Structure formats: C-alpha cells, structure tokens
Amino acid sequence: MPDQATITELEQTALQLRVNILKMLNTANSGHTGGSLSAIDALTALFFHEMRHDPGNPRWDGRDHFVLSKGHAAPALYACLAEAGYFPPEDLKTLRRLGSHLQGHPDMKKTPGVEVCTGSLGQGLSQAIGLALAARLAKREARTYVLLGDGEMQEGQVWEAAMAAPHYGLDNLCAIVDANALQIDGEVAKVMGVAPLGPKFLAFNWHVLEVDGHDICALLQALADAKQTKGKPTMIIARTVKGKGVPFFEHKASYHGVPPSDQELVDALALLGHA
C-alpha cells in the first residue's frame, strides 16, 4: 500500500478534478454533475495509481483497460484523461460542443484514452468481459476495470454478464459499482430496487468487496485485493454520495443531469477552496 504522502497527493488530485468537472459542466451548460462527482475518487485511484497506461501511446499493448459503463459520467473520465496527459486541459472547455472530441458520452473514435463507446446503460460490463477475454487469449497480463452505476444495475444485460464473468474465471476483471443510491428519477430503491448487491454477486460467484467510495486508502486496498484474487472476477461496491464534495449538490437526484449555474459554480469553488 502507498504511504500517507501518496494518499494525500491522490486526495488533492481528486479535489482538483472536482474543480475541473464543475468548470467544464458550467462552460458547457449541459451534462451530469451528481454522478461525475460521486465517481471521481474511484477514477482517481484507478488512473493515478492502479492502472498501467501510457498517455503518449494510448493503444499500448501492455495497458490495462477501463470502461465507463455509466457513460453519462463522461466529465469525470475526461477530467482524468486531461490530467493524465492524453489531451490538453484546455480541451475540457469544449465539452459537448459540435466538432469537439469530448462529446456527452465517451467515443473511442474521437477521444484518446477512451477504450469503448458507452452511454446506453447496461452494456459496459459485457464490453469489459470481451476485453478481459481478449487479453487472456493474447496472453497479456492486462487487467480490465469497469465502472457501473447502481441505477444501471436494473438493466437485464448486467446480470447476463454477471453470470458470464465467473463462468470464464475472469480474475483479470474488476468491476466497481458507484453506489450513490440515486438515479435520474429519484431513489434507486424506489424506482427499482437492486439491493442487496453484495449477496447477489456472491451468489453469482464473484469476489465481493464493499468500501467507502470516497476513501482513497480503502479503494486502493480493495483494488489490491482484487489483483490478488484468482479464479474469479471481483466486484467492488463503492458506497458513494451523489454530488460528493459540494454540500448543496449532495444527495440530490435533481442534479443528476443538471450543470452548475454561474452562481453555483462560484459557491462550489469557494467550498472546494478554489475561489
């Protein structure tokens, strides 16, 4: 495990990425605030500590793969890719503009570092399984990571994929659920309950871990555990807060697909110490 200095650095990176997410959403006047902020700590742990990847060579054969199944949280992914050096940070200002390579959902044909096109919920786990199987066939040590939303777990295709991954013994696959308990129509439990996720994936023969999805140390420990697990895939259920980091966005389904207004941006940046 990394020392405290490394964890603190990752926490500061996540803070800066929150700032970048809010700025790009405000500039675009469009996009998804709540789920981008809830997912950014997990993405920070992956892109800036756990995954092997090369911004200078996005298609490097030895890279690990990341699939953003909840594709509407693209601002979080774009913030990470820009910070890592896949493209200039100035590009973030072009989010959702016509002709920009940063569209509302990830596009592998436009954006360096994006592995697959996502946005239609429920498909990402299947895509990740394909990448994990391909790595095995090619005898590469690459690992595949996929981030899903808990509302997305209502999709039937997720559960077909959940059966397939352990059937093929994909221990090079690690899935993370951004379990913030809210979706566009309200509480996940009221729209279509998916609990209890842990026992369900255990019954499907996954290795299951539950962590605080905003605790960088806990996330890194879970990712390390996943890497050591053999013979089955790992599911990390990350308990998160929608809109995490800005109190007036937190726990509110109304900010699922709403960007911060000019005044909300000013107030949010002040709360994040970036006024």
Query: What's the confidence (pLDDT) of residue 2?
Result: 86
Which helix or strand (DSSP H or E) is residue 176 part of?
A: strand 173-179
Query: Is-contact 182 253, C-beta < 8 A?
Result: yes
Query: Is-contact 25 246, C-beta < 8 A?
Result: no
List beta partners, residue 65: 144
3-state SS, residue 53: coil
Segments forming the whole domain that contains residue 114: 4-271
Q: Which two tokens stand for residue 221?
A: 């420990």
**What average pLDDT does the segment 196-210 reach?**
98
Query: What's the confidence (pLDDT) of residue 84?
Result: 98
Helices 262-271/4-28 angle, 10° precision: 170
Place of tokens 């110490």: 273
Residues 6+ apart with CB under 8 A from 96: 28, 30, 31, 102, 103, 104
Distance CA 152, CA 39 (A): 14
Distance CA 179, CA 154 (A): 12
Query: Is-contact 35 72, C-beta < 8 A?
Result: yes
CATH number for the domain harbouring residue 38: 3.40.50.970
Please give the single-letter amino acid code of residue 249. Answer: F
Query: Is-contact 233 204, C-beta < 8 A?
Result: no
Query: What's the confidence (pLDDT) of residue 148?
Result: 98
- Confidence (pTM): 0.97
Q: How does pLDDT run across 57-114, given as a tens digit for each residue?
A: 999 999 999 999 999 999 999 999 999 999 999 999 999 999 999 999 999 999 999 9
Decide if pLDDT at 275 tops 90.
Answer: no
Decide if pLDDT at 15 tops 90.
Answer: yes
Distance CA 272, CA 200 (A): 37
Q: Which two tokens stand for residue 198?
A: 């842990």
Phi-psi region of 121 (alpha: psi -120 to 50; beta: other; left: phi over 0): beta
Q: Which two tokens stand for residue 122?
A: 């429920």
State the distance between the two ends of the chain, measured CA to CA, in whole angstroms.
33
For Cα atoms 181, 106, 16, give the angle at the middle one, nearest 5 degrees.
65
Q: What is the mean pLDDT of the chain?
A: 97
Distance CA 155, CA 177 (A): 13
Q: How does pLDDT run across 171-193, given as a tens digit for each residue?
A: 999 999 999 999 999 999 999 99
**What average pLDDT does the segment 2-15 reach?**
96
- % of the chain beyond a pLDDT of 90: 99
**What average pLDDT does the segment 42-68 reach?**
97
Q: How does pLDDT run across 210-259, given as a tens digit for each residue?
A: 999 999 999 999 999 999 999 999 999 999 999 999 999 999 999 999 99
- Counting the structural domains of the chain, the total is 1
Enter the DSSP assignment of 255.
G
HEC profile for 90-139?
HHHHHCCCCCCCCCCCCCCCCCCCCCCCCCCCCCHHHHHHHHHHHHHHCC
Distance CA 50, CA 77 (A): 15
Query: What's the confidence (pLDDT) of residue 1?
Result: 76
CB atoms within 10 A of CB 38: 31
CB atoms within 10 A of CB 263: 8
